Amino acid sequence: MQHLLNLSNNDLLAWLKERKHPTFRASQIWQWIFQKRVASFQEMENLPKQLRQDLTESFTIWSTTIAKKTVATDQTQKLLLTHHDGGQTESVLLFEKNRRTICVSSQVGCAMGCLFCASGLDGVDRNLTQGEILEQMLLLQRLLPDDERLSHIVMMGMGEPLANLSHVLGALTVANDPDRLGIGTRRITISTVGIPASIVKMADYPLAFQLAVSLHAPNEALRDRLVPVNKNIGLSKILAAVDQYYEKTRRQITFEYVLLSDINDHTSHAKELVSILRPRNAMLNVIPYNPVAGLPYQSPSKQRLAHFKGILTEAGITLKVRHRKGDEINAACGQLRRNNAQTQKKELYSIEGEKSPERKSP
Ligand code: SF4
């Protein structure tokens, strides 16, 4: 049984031809799945019975089980998904005015080892397939009322997207396709700790997605500590690749900076950040740290945050402070998976053991 979402349009066309079905059926099948949000092939009413039967015998739409679903007071919804091999990842749906943003995972676990992150605590198990990445988008879309659409995608969940570049670009290209999710490239962000060779490849890709670089430290010594993979890469190479991306795409670069109390929030750090950002067409997202059980880091106080922000804004840096939504449901990357076995005292409610709409085609 193949996962249909791993197929390209050409793969599906070839399969239809081989089975002597007309090829115009391919776009109908994609529409049913991506736009009409059906859960099974049997619901595809305008397809002949024989085609529905052939699809059911050859493919599955769903390869995961929803192990847990949580909903926060601010409406943020988070899914903990169990994959066919038992690996678990997290996906989040965020509501902000008329935006419906989804945060999607690219790997089971993460090898980058950022010291303050729950996702990297146990290393990486494997890359997700294109189909597994797309399936998260479909499952999150199904949480919306019928008259609402997904508006933004951020590849900012579990894993390092640029360590799984081909599957991530494949899935995002499908998400961008007007006949499928139809989400514009300016509304799709790939967030990375910075893998220069992959950033350069992205610069040559036909679609220019938004690039966000998780900086977290403004100098090599501190970044080597907070983002250990930096020791093998180095900030200067990352910034050179980012500049190349900007030259080719003209897309403003976003830098992400998780603010950790008394670690990377000193006056000197803010001034070093100014010198990195001022020469570039860039914006900075400052994210006050969301504490993770078992890790020693703290959120900065309001005063420290205001002081840090003040230095940057006075220097003319475009900056937003982004508070994590859904804090009480462990919306920070990797926390839900890590805490799955424990009772979540602050959850509003949780639905355990809920199945994906169609685990296997009937
Ligand atoms: S912050 Fe992102 S890159 Fe760093 S360990 Fe966590 S998931 Fe990986």
Q: What is the pLDDT of residues 217-250, one digit of tens each?
A: 999 999 999 999 999 999 999 999 999 999 999 9
Task: Give the rounded percent of residues in the chain with a pLDDT score beyond 70.
Answer: 90
Asked whether the predicted pLDDT for residue 266 surpasses 70, the reply is yes
Q: What pLDDT sits at residue 257?
A: 97
> The domain 2-60: what is its CATH number?
1.10.150.530
Asked whether the predicted pLDDT for residue 13 surpasses 90, the reply is yes
Q: What pLDDT sits at residue 116?
A: 86
Substitution candidate for ligand 1 out of 106, 112, 232 with most atoms within 8 A of CB = 112
**Mean pLDDT over each residue of the chain, to the nearest integer:** 91
Q: Compare 342 and 357 and report the one with higher pLDDT.
A: 357
Query: Mean pLDDT, to the nearest integer, of 268-284?
Result: 97
For residue range 307-319, what is the model confidence (pLDDT) as tens digits?
Answer: 999 999 999 999 9
Q: What pLDDT sits at residue 349?
A: 35
Q: What pLDDT sits at residue 118?
A: 80
Asked whether the predicted pLDDT for residue 106 surpasses 80, the reply is yes
Query: Mean pLDDT, to the nearest integer, of 123-147?
Result: 97
Q: What pLDDT sits at residue 357?
A: 59
Active site residues: 90, 333
**CA-wise closest residue to 60 among 170, 161, 134:** 134
Range list for CATH 1.10.150.530 in the chain: 2-60
Asked whether the predicted pLDDT for residue 341 surpasses 60, the reply is no
Query: Mean pLDDT, to the nearest integer, of 69-94?
Result: 96
Cα-to-centroid distance, 327 and ligand 1 (Å): 17
For ligand 1, whether the C-beta of 213 sits within 6 Å is no
For ligand 1, whether the C-beta of 160 sits within 6 Å is yes
Asked whether the predicted pLDDT for residue 342 surpasses 70, the reply is no
Q: What pLDDT sits at residue 324?
A: 72
Q: What pLDDT sits at residue 169?
A: 98
Substitution candidate for ligand 1 out of 114, 158, 335 with most atoms within 8 A of CB = 114
For ligand 1, whether the C-beta of 158 sits within 6 Å is yes
The mean-pLDDT minimum among 135-139, 203-207, 325-329 falls in 325-329
CA distances, 71 to each of 75, 93, 176 (Å): 6, 10, 27
Correct CATH for 65-352 of 3.30.390.10, 1.10.3720.10, 3.20.20.70, 3.40.50.300? 3.20.20.70
Tokens of 70: 């949580």
Cα-to-centroid distance, 224 and ligand 1 (Å): 14
Query: Mean pLDDT, to the nearest integer, of 273-285?
Result: 97
Q: What pLDDT sits at residue 101?
A: 97
For ligand 1, whether the C-beta of 132 sits within 6 Å is no
For ligand 1, whether the C-beta of 117 sits within 6 Å is yes
Q: What global pTM score does this model have?
A: 0.91
Query: Mean pLDDT, to the nearest integer, of 329-342?
Result: 59
Alpha carbon distance 257, 216 (integer Å): 4
pLDDT tier, 122 (very low <50, low <70, confident <90, very high otherwise): confident
Range list for CATH 3.20.20.70 in the chain: 65-352
Cα-to-centroid distance, 324 and ligand 1 (Å): 15
